[in-house]
């Protein structure tokens, strides 16, 4: 057993992640190899020091609890609500974008804006309102969650979709932050956090961004 | 182990009560988990103010999601997942808005492993080491910091960490190994390991 292979697994040994057989092999290597043993001892030392929890700032729990009381409330049993998505329509449409988003547990009191109600865009839904996304099991979302570099948090209650007309095709900015381009079943998706949308240079969406509920994941499909 | 399960069972009672609107139950949940959430956020974000902002956001999200938990494992997974994601999101936000170097400023008061029998010099050494380790952790890439926080602070297995972060176990294993090695090299260069503590005092003991 060479030192190079051993060094790669010292953490796994320390964390108890090796099989009995591997563990025995590694320990016997450490008995005879002072270089690997020294490194192991150092890792152990660091692990023990890192495992010591930091002291908490005074009043932390109070402040957290009070901020939740202020800005939220314990969730009530969910009632299924229809939420008409915000829509923006601009002049001559050059690009047609199908936009849908999954919403998690809307804060109480989030309303549909009158403008959105007035617009009354046809709602082209990819998913019916009721059997919308459940947990992460709806097909495109499960795939996306699998493909996303970071897990897209949470489990989504429902998905809404709308057709938007924009006058330019959508492209994510270089530094758009949490925007991922994914291809699922031959369709291209841009996935991002709706709360960041004001930072995305999509002219057609500047208006929509202000009207979207705070916490939702925005999924844009760019149609060919 | 039965104690843990009893505690976990009691948590689900709290979650259910809170979901019904019992704010006292929710307050108990905050008291029980605020520390864990804060500490993970602290390791990922690197400073106490951001960690507290993240913790507030996590509990807000928890508050809105109370009615969706089937059991204690989904509750704990949710909490870890939301915490790590919120902390990582926070970091991304920071990078966009300002160039604040991510350095731990000592992270406030330290909790010292109580050991009244240890001579004062050793206690001081331990505290110094903890400080050095935290400074070193702050220099690691965010992904390594996150995996390490879950391993060191919460004692999660590689499989559990993989489930929380949505990564493969192999990725978790390599992030932890690389993170620790990088940390070790940082501290070695700082002279941490030449503290005069004889190396044969620490046996290369295995952890259960």
**What was the pLDDT predicted at A115?**
34
Specify the higher pLDDT residue, A216 or A110.
A216
How high does pLDDT run on average in chain A?
56
Domain end call among B93, B110, B137: B93
Q: Are residues B89 and B155 in the same domain?
A: no
Q: Are residues B125 and B86 in the same domain?
A: no
pTM of the entire predicted model: 0.59
**Cβ–Cβ below 8 Å for B88 and A150:** yes
Residue of B nearest to A192 (CA): B89
Cα–Cα distance measured from residue A38 to residue B204, given in angstroms and rounded to the nearest whole number = 8
How far away is chain B from the Cα of A224, in angstroms, using its nearest Cα?
31
Indicate whether B105 belongs to any domain.
Answer: no
Specify the higher pLDDT residue, A150 or B47.
B47
**Cβ–Cβ below 8 Å for A54 and B134:** yes
Q: Which domain holds residue B133?
A: 120-202
* Position A211 pLDDT exceeds 50: no
**Cβ–Cβ below 8 Å for B56 and A56:** no
Q: Are residues B86 and B133 in the same domain?
A: no
**What was the pLDDT predicted at B70?**
73
Cα–Cα distance measured from residue B175 to residue B169, given in angstroms and rounded to the nearest whole number = 10
**What was the pLDDT predicted at B10?**
76
Query: What's the structural domain count of chain B?
Result: 2
Contacts 24+ apart (CB under 8 A), A206-210: A206/A88, A207/A86, A207/A88, A208/A86, A208/A87, A208/A88, A208/A99, A208/A164
Q: Are residues B19 and B87 in the same domain?
A: yes
DSSP B84-109: HHHHHHHHHHHHHH--------TTSS
Q: Are residues B11 and B73 in the same domain?
A: yes
Angle ∠(B86,B47,A56) on CA atoms, nearest 5: 90
Q: Are residues B184 and B131 in the same domain?
A: yes
* Position A91 pLDDT exceeds 60: no
Indicate whether B114 belongs to any domain.
Answer: no
Indicate whether B172 belongs to any domain.
Answer: yes
* Position A204 pLDDT exceeds 80: no
Indicate whether B39 belongs to any domain.
Answer: yes
Minimal Cβ distance to A65: which of B22, B30, B35: B30
Assign residue B8 the CATH number of its domain: 1.10.1740.10
The band of A189, judged by pLDDT with boundaries at 50, 70 and 90, is low
Indicate whether B98 belongs to any domain.
Answer: no
Assign residue B134 the CATH number of its domain: 1.10.10.10
* Position B193 pLDDT exceeds 60: yes
**Cβ–Cβ below 8 Å for A46 and B193:** no
Strand partners, A184: A187
**What was the pLDDT predicted at A183?**
53
Q: What is the distance, to the nearest Å, from the Cα of residue A115 to the centroid of all Cα atoms in its chain?
A: 29
Domain end call among B75, B93, B111: B93
Q: Does B141 touch chain A (CB under 8 A)?
A: no
**What was the pLDDT predicted at A190?**
56
Minimal Cβ distance to B108: which of A40, A49, A55: A55
Host H or E run for residue B82: helix B72-97
* Position B2 pLDDT exceeds 60: yes
How far away is chain A from the Cα of B173, in angstroms, using its nearest Cα?
7
Cα–Cα distance measured from residue A152 to residue B81, given in angstroms and rounded to the nearest whole number = 10
Average pLDDT of span B190-195? 78
> Which backbone phi and psi does A123 adopt, to 5 degrees?
-100, 110
Q: Is the ipTM of this complex over 0.85?
A: no
**Cβ–Cβ below 8 Å for B82 and A153:** yes
Minimal Cβ distance to B63: which of A8, A11, A68: A68
Indicate whether B208 belongs to any domain.
Answer: no
**What was the pLDDT predicted at B64?**
84
Best mutation target among B45, B54, B180, B205 (most A Cβ atoms within 10 Å) is B180
Q: Are residues B7 and B86 in the same domain?
A: yes
* Position B29 pLDDT exceeds 90: yes
Q: Which tens digits make up the pLDDT trace of A98-115?
A: 344 444 333 333 333 333
Strand partners, A166: A95
Q: Are residues B194 and B136 in the same domain?
A: yes
Minimal Cβ distance to A46: which of B21, B153, B180: B180
Q: Which tens digits make up the pLDDT trace of A120-149?
A: 222 222 222 223 333 333 344 444 444 443
Contact of A121 with A150, CB cutoff 8 Å: no
* Position B161 pLDDT exceeds 50: yes
Average pLDDT of span A27-51? 95
């Amino acid at each position: 057993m060479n030192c190079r292979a051993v060094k790669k697994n010292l953490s796994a040994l320390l964390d108890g992640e090796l099989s009995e057989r591997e563990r025995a092999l590694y320990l016997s290597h450490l008995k005879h190899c002072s270089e690997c043993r020294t490194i192991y001892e150092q890792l152990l030392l660091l692990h023990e020091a890192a495992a010591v929890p930091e002291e908490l700032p005074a009043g932390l729990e109070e402040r957290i609890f009070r901020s939740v009381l202020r800005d939220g409330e314990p969730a009530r049993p969910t009632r299924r609500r229809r939420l008409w998505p915000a829509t923006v329509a601009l002049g001559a449409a050059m690009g047609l974008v199908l936009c849908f988003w999954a919403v998690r547990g809307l804060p109480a009191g989030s309303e549909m804006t009158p403008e959105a109600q007035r617009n009354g865009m046809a709602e082209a839904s990819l998913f019916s309102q009721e059997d919308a996304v459940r947990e992460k099991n709806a097909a495109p979302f499960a795939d996306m969650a699998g493909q996303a570099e970071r897990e897209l948090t949470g489990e989504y209650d429902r998905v809404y979709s709308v057709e938007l007309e924009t006058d330019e095709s959508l492209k994510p900015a270089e530094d758009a932050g949490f925007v991922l381009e994914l291809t699922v079943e031959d369709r291209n998706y841009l996935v991002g956090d709706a709360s960041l949308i004001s930072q995305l240079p999509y002219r057609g969406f500047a208006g929509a961004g202000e009207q979207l509920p705070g916490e939702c994941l925005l999924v844009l499909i760019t149609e060919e | 182990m039965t104690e843990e399960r009893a505690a976990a069972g009691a948590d689900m009672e709290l979650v259910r009560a809170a979901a019904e609107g019992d704010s006292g139950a929710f307050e108990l949940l905050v008291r029980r988990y605020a520390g864990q959430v804060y500490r993970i956020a602290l390791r990922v974000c690197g400073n106490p103010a951001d960690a507290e902002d993240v913790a507030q956001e996590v509990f807000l999200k928890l508050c809105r999601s109370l009615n969706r938990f089937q059991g204690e494992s989904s509750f704990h997974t949710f909490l870890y997942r939301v915490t790590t994601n919120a902390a990582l999101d926070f970091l991304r936000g920071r990078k966009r808005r300002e160039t604040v170097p991510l350095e731990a400023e000592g992270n406030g008061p330290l909790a010292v492993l109580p050991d009244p029998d240890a001579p004062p010099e050793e206690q001081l050494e331990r505290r110094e080491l903890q400080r050095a380790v935290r400074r070193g952790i702050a220099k690691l890439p965010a992904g390594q910091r996150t995996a390490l926080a879950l391993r060191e602070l919460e004692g999660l297995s590689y499989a559990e960490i993989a489930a929380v972060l949505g990564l493969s176990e192999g990725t978790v294993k390599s992030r932890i190994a690389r993170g620790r090695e990088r940390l070790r090299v940082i501290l070695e260069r700082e002279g941490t390991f030449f503290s005069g503590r004889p190396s044969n005092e620490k046996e290369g003991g295995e952890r259960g």
